[in-house]
Chain A
Amino acid sequence: MKAYLILEDKTVFEGASIGSPREMISEIVFNTSMTGYLEVLTDPSYAGQAVVMTYPLIGNYGICREDMESRQAWPDGYIVREVSRIPSNFRSGDTIQNFLKQQDIPGICGVDTRSLTKILREKGTMNGMITTDGSFDLDEVIARLKAYRVTGVVKKTTVKKPYVLPGRGRRVALMDYGAKDSIARALQERGCEVTVYPADTPAEEILSAGPDGILLSNGPGDPEENTKIIKEVKKLYDSNVPIFAICLGHQLMALATGAKTYKLKYGHRGGNHPVRDLKTGRVYISSQNHGYAVDETSLDSSVAVPAFVNVNDGTNEGLSYVGKNIFTIQYHPEACPGPQDSGYLFDRFIRMMEEGK
Chain B
Amino acid sequence: MPRNSEIKKVLVIGSGPIIIGQAAEFDYAGTQACRSLKEEGVEVVLLNSNPATIMTDKDIADHVYIEPLTTAMVQKLILLERPDSILPTLGGQAGLNLAMELAESGFLEEHGVRLIGTTALTIKKAEDREMFKETMERLGEPVAPSEIVEDVETGLSVAARIGYPVVLRPAYTLGGSGGGIADNPEQCAEILQNGLRLSRVGQVLVERCIAGWKEIEYEVMRDTAGNVITVCNMENLDPVGVHTGDSIVVAPSQTLGDKEYQMLRTSALRIITELGITGGCNVQFALHPESFEYCVIEVNPRVSRSSALASKATGYPIAKVAAKIALGYTLDEIKNAVTKKTYASFEPMLDYVVVKMPRLPFDKFISASHSLGTQMKATGEVMSICTSFEGALMKAIRSLEQHVDSLFSYDYSDLKDEELKRRLKDVDDRRIWVIAEALRRGFSYELLHALTKIDVWFLDKLALLVEMEQALKLAGAGLELELLKEAKRLEFPDHVIGDLTGLSGEEIRRRRLEAGLCPAYKMVDTCAAEFAAETPYYYSCYGSFNEAERTSGRKKVLVLGSGPIRIGQGIEFDFCSVHSTWAFAKEGYETIIVNNNPETVSTDFDIADKLYFEPLTPEDVEGIVKLERPDGAVVQFGGQTAIKLTEALMKMGVPILGTAAEDVDAAEDRERFDAILEQCAIPRPQGRTVFTAKEAKEAAHALGYPVLVRPSYVLGGQGMQIAVSDEDIDEFIGIINQIAQEHPILVDKYIMGKEIEVDAVCDGKEVLIPGIMEHIERTGIHSGDSISVYPAMSLTEGNRKTIVDYTEKLARALHVKGMINIQFIVDGEEIYIIEVNPRSSRTVPYISKVTGIPIVPLATQVICGHTLRELGYEPGLFKEAEYYAIKMPVFSFEKLRGADVSLGPEMKSTGECLGISKDFHEALYKAFVGAGIQLPKYKNMIITVRDSDKEEIAEVAERFAALGYRIFATAGTARSLKEHGVRAIPVRKIEQESPNLLDLILGHEIDLVIDIPAQGAERSRDGFIIRRNAVETGVTVLTAVDTARALALSLQNRTEELSLVDIARAEMGR
Interface residues of A (CB under 8 A from B): 30, 32-36, 38-39, 54-57, 60-61, 64, 67, 81-82, 84-91, 110, 112-115, 117-118, 121-122, 270-274, 276, 281-285, 311-312, 335-341
Contacts and interface: CB of A to CB of B under 8 A. Distances in A.
Given A61-B457, A272-B527, A281-B225, 11 more contacts: A34-B349, A35-B261, A54-B351, A82-B387, A87-B457, A114-B387, A121-B529, A121-B530, A272-B348, A274-B345, A282-B225
A228 B389 CA distance: 50
7 contacts: A33-B258, A36-B257, A88-B456, A90-B291, A115-B544, A272-B527, A311-B343
Given A54-B351, A60-B255, A337-B258, A112 B528 contact: no
Contacts of B347: 271-272, 285, 339
Contacts of A55: 252, 349-351, 528
B528 A283 contact: no
Nearest to B290: A90
Contacts of A274: 229, 331-332, 343, 345-346
Interface of B: 225-230, 252-259, 261-262, 265-266, 269, 289-291, 330-332, 341-343, 345-353, 387-389, 455-457, 460, 464, 522, 527-532, 543-545, 547
A312 B229 CA distance: 15
Contacts of B532: 121-122
Contacts of A338: 258, 262
A115 B531 contact: no
B464 to A, nearest CB: 7
A114 B524 CA distance: 11
B387 A312 contact: no
A281 B331 CA distance: 11
A85 B460 CA distance: 8
The 7 lowest CB-CB distance pairs between A and B, nearest first, are A36-B258, A88-B457, A272-B347, A54-B528, A337-B258, A35-B258, A90-B290
Given A81-B387, A114-B522, A274-B343, A86 B457 contact: yes
Contacts of A340: 262, 265-266
A285 B343 CA distance: 12
Nearest to A115: B545
Contacts of A32: 349, 351, 527-528, 530
Contacts of B388: 56-57, 82
Contacts of B331: 274, 283
Contacts of B262: 35, 335, 337-340
B630 to A, nearest CB: 25
B477 to A, nearest CB: 27
Nearest to B261: A35
Contacts of B456: 86, 88
Contacts of B229: 274, 285
A284 B226 CA distance: 10
Contacts of A56: 351-353, 387-388
Nearest to A84: B457
Contacts of B227: 282-284
Given A36-B258, A336-B258, A114 B544 contact: yes
A86 B256 contact: no
A126 to B, nearest CB: 16
Contacts of A82: 387-388
Contacts of A81: 387
A85 B464 contact: yes
Contact of B531 (A38, A86, A312): A312
Contact of A272 (B228, B259, B346, B547): B346
Contact of B343 (A85, A114, A122, A312): A312
Contact of B257 (A61, A283, A285, A312): A61
Contact of A67 (B225, B258, B547): B258
Contacts of B350: 34, 55
A257 B346 CA distance: 32
Contacts of B330: 283
A333 to B, nearest CB: 13
Given A32-B530, A54-B529, A283-B332, A273 B257 contact: no
Given A32-B349, A32-B527, A89 B543 contact: no
B332 A276 contact: yes
B528 A117 contact: yes
A84 B262 CA distance: 21
A67 B263 CA distance: 14
Nearest to B460: A86
A281 B464 CA distance: 49
Nearest to B223: A283
A119 B671 CA distance: 59
B536 to A, nearest CB: 15
B338 to A, nearest CB: 13
A89 to B, nearest CB: 6
A39 to B, nearest CB: 6
Contacts of A284: 227
B351 A118 contact: no
Nearest to B455: A88
Given A89-B257, A338-B262, A285 B346 contact: yes
Contacts of B457: 60-61, 84, 86-88
Contact of B545 (A112, A271, A272, A285): A112
Given A86-B456, A311-B332, A339 B265 contact: yes
A270 B349 contact: yes
A122 to B, nearest CB: 8
Contact of A88 (B255, B353, B522, B543): B255
Contacts of A38: 257-258
Contacts of A112: 543-545
B332 A35 contact: no
B986 to A, nearest CB: 64
B353 A67 contact: no
Contacts of A270: 349, 528, 530
B1059 to A, nearest CB: 48
Residue of B269, B464, B545 ringed by the most chain A CB atoms within 10 A:
B545
Given A117-B530, A121-B532, A282-B225, A272 B349 contact: yes
B257 A115 contact: no
Nearest to A270: B349
A36 B254 CA distance: 12
A171 B252 CA distance: 41
A273 B346 contact: yes
Contacts of B342: 311-312
Nearest to A36: B258
Contacts of A113: 351
A61 B255 contact: yes
A339 B528 CA distance: 17
A87 B258 CA distance: 14
Nearest to A91: B257
A283 B227 CA distance: 6
Contacts of B346: 272-274, 285, 311-312
Contacts of B256: 35, 61
Contacts of A64: 257, 259
B874 to A, nearest CB: 55
A34 to B, nearest CB: 5
B460 A89 contact: no
